[in-house]
Every structure is written in structure tokens, then in C-alpha cells.
């Protein structure tokens, strides 16, 4: 779980994890460069749990903090473990972890992602989320209806930790990983304390980063759209020429229509050419070496149950 300047909520979450999931739960809390409220491993110990606090050298953002945490888990834990990725503010409720993890019992499932039956958000956020899902499906050809709350088998964790896309957007990386994913409908809870630090601009940027994971697919789809527009402009030019030849067009109309259609054609053709060049330059996502997350880690503090 990533934690940024949110000690009160995360401390309560540790206690709720111990109450609902038992003392065998191991916590990997990634302190994302907190200055005012750094995470203390004593909060994990006070809850009766074992775990670590990974303190980062700087604030890297929510998604990269999760990537660092998964990199640590992939390096330090065995194949018999089940890993849950969740936020530290209480909106991902500890009570629902049991139902989420149960989905991993199926042999043909690698990742169980949480979809929301109910949300505690403003109407503006809900409207933006609907538009975001529609644009994502239109531009990438894939549907996304989940966030960071998920349960993963260790084989899946190691696969994700080796993908560069994980550092851009966790949910989109899961989609592109080709892992076997199933969904679990859960209710979203209220924050334990404080207010969300994610503003509307941050949410929009988060959405665009999901498209970055599928940048090549997006470029191809935009290129196809530009090609269609260029073809329609040529068709429109032919129609305008025929109308001019049979004397239907009014004086000056043909010149105006032909000029506009020529500009549309040149712009879309040039954009299509640029997109094709960019698509040719792009390569598939690279593979990260084990332990590459360590460059961001200042220290790892261990916690033992009191």
C-alpha cells in the first residue's frame, strides 16, 4: 500500500487489517516521500502485525509507489504468498479482502480486481469516470472498470514487476500483461480520516496515463480515423467538381469548398504520416531487471508485533 502524508488513516487501517485478516497478515507500506507525517513502523507493530515501511528518497506518485512495493514483494517473498494491492485511506475496505482473495483459488485466475458496486464520490467525479471509460474503450479498444484494489498470485506479481508499464498505470498494466483476470464487485468505503489529495487535474492525468500504456494502439486508431477523414475529403472534392461541371454550384462556392477540402486532406494526410512514423519507432514494453526499484528506496524499516 502506498502512503503519503496520511498517518491517521493508515494507522487505523493497520488495526482493521489485524482485526479482519488476522495476525498472519504482512504489511508492505510504501512511504511515498512523506515529510510532515512519515510512516512509523511502530504503527504496524502496535496493530499486532509484522511488516516493513519502505521509505522513498522522494515523492514519486501513487502508481510508482505501488510499482516499488510490488518490486520489493517479488524479490523477497515465495510463490505460496497471496498479494493484495490497496490504498491506505480506508476506501479499499479490509473486510472485502477475504472475498477478493477467495477468487484466487481458481486455477485459471492470476489476478482478481475489484469493481465497485457503490461509490462515495461527487457527481463530477462520476461523470468524469464515465467519460474516461468511454474514451479509453474508444481509443484503446479495451474496457477498464477497476483501479488499484486487487489480489494477485506471486507468479502474476513477478510478471507485473518486470513490466515497465507498471510504473505508468497499474490497472492498465494488468490489462496489457495478458494475465488471467477476473472481477469481484465490492462496495467502496469512506476515508478513515482527512481528505483525498487527488484533485480533478490529477485524476485527468491519471486517466491519460492509462492510455499511454496502449499508446501504439491509440496511434493506430487515430491514424485510421485520419485516413478515413482524408478519404472523405477526396470524395467531397469529387462531388464538388461534379456539381461545378453540371452547373449546380453558385459562383465562388466551388473555390471555397475545394480550398477547405484540400486543407482538410493535407492536414489529415500529414497527421497520418506522422502517426505511421511514430508507430514504426515505438517498440513493445521493455523488461525491468530484478531490484531496479531500489534506486528510489532510502531505507527499509522492519516492524515486529508487540
Q: What is the pLDDT of residue 199?
A: 66
Tell me how far apart the terminal alpha carbons of the chain are, to the nearest angstrom: 21
The CA distance from 41 to 27, in Å, is 10
Mean pLDDT of 52-64: 95
Q: What is the pLDDT of residue 282?
A: 54
Listed range (50-59, 136-145, 249-258) with the worst mean pLDDT: 249-258
Q: Is the pTM for the entire model greater than 0.75?
A: yes
> Which of these, 42, 53, 54, lies nearest to 15 by C-alpha position?
42
Per-residue CA distances from 72 to 75, 191, 214, 268, 291 (Å): 5, 27, 26, 46, 7
Mean pLDDT of 15-36: 95
Mean pLDDT of 274-294: 69
Q: Is 29:88 a contact under the CB 8 Å cutoff?
A: yes
For all residues of the chain together, what is the average pLDDT? Answer: 88
pLDDT confidence bin for 265, thresholds 50/70/90 = confident
The CA distance from 227 to 276, in Å, is 11
294-298 contacts, C-beta under 8 A, 24 or more apart:
296/56, 296/57, 296/58, 296/60, 296/64, 296/68, 297/54, 297/55, 297/56, 297/57, 297/68, 297/72, 298/55, 298/56, 298/57
Q: What is the pLDDT of residue 18?
A: 96
Q: What is the pLDDT of residue 120?
A: 59
The CA distance from 137 to 131, in Å, is 10
Q: What is the pLDDT of residue 48?
A: 95
Q: What is the pLDDT of residue 49?
A: 96
Mean pLDDT of 234-243: 86
The CA distance from 140 to 137, in Å, is 5
Using a pLDDT cut of 90, give the percent of the chain over it. 53
Per-residue CA distances from 75 to 52, 57, 289 (Å): 14, 20, 11
More confident residue, 273 or 159: 159
- Span 78-137, pLDDT tens digits: 999 999 999 999 889 999 999 999 999 999 999 999 998 765 566 777 777 788 888 889
3-class secondary structure, 174: helix
3-class secondary structure, 38: coil
The CA distance from 261 to 73, in Å, is 57
> Which of these, 54, 50, 46, 49, lies nearest to 2 by C-alpha position?
54
- Span 169-228, pLDDT tens digits: 999 999 999 999 999 999 888 888 877 666 667 777 888 888 888 888 888 888 888 888
Amino acid at each position: 500500500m502506498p502512503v503519503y502524508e496520511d498517518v491517521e488513516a493508515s494507522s487505523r487501517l493497520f488495526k482493521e487489517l489485524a482485526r479482519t485478516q488476522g495476525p498472519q497478515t504482512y504489511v508492505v507500506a510504501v512511504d511515498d516521500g512523506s515529510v510532515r507525517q512519515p510512516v512509523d513502523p511502530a504503527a504496524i507493530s502496535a496493530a499486532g502485525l509484522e511488516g516493513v515501511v519502505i521509505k522513498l528518497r522522494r515523492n514519486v506518485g501513487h502508481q510508482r509507489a505501488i510499482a516499488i512495493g510490488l518490486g520489493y514483494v517479488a524479490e523477497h517473498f515465495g510463490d505460496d504468498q497471496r498479494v493484495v494491492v490497496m490504498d491506505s485511506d480506508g476506501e479499499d475496505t479490509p473486510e472485502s479482502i477475504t472475498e477478493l482473495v477467495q477468487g484466487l483459488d481458481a486455477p485459471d485466475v492470476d489476478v482478481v480486481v475489484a469493481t465497485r458496486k457503490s461509490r462515495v464520490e461527487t457527481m463530477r467525479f462520476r461523470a468524469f469516470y464515465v467519460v474516461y471509460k468511454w474514451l479509453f474503450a474508444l481509443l484503446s479498444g479495451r474496457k477498464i472498470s477497476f483501479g488499484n484494489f486487487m489480489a494477485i498470485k506471486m507468479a502474476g506479481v513477478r510478471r507485473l514487476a518486470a513490466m515497465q508499464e507498471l510504473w505508468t498505470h497499474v490497472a492498465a498494466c494488468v490489462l496489457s500483461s495478458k494475465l488471467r483476470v477476473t472481477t469481484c464487485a465490492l462496495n467502496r468505503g469512506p476515508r478513515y480520516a482527512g481528505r483525498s489529495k487527488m484533485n480533478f487535474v490529477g485524476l485527468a492525468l491519471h486517466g491519460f496515463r492509462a492510455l499511454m500504456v496502449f499508446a501504439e494502439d491509440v496511434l493506430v486508431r487515430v491514424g485510421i480515423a485520419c485516413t478515413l477523414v482524408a478519404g472523405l475529403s477526396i470524395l467531397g472534392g469529387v462531388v464538388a467538381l461534379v456539381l461545378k461541371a453540371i452547373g449546380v454550384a453558385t459562383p465562388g462556392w466551388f473555390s471555397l469548398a475545394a480550398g477547405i477540402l484540400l486543407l482538410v486532406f493535407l492536414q489529415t494526410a500529414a497527421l497520418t504520416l506522422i502517426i505511421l512514423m511514430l508507430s514504426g519507432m515505438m517498440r513493445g514494453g521493455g523488461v525491468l531487471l530484478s531490484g531496479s526499484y531500489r534506486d528510489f528506496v532510502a531505507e527499509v524499516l522492519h516492524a515486529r508485533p508487540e
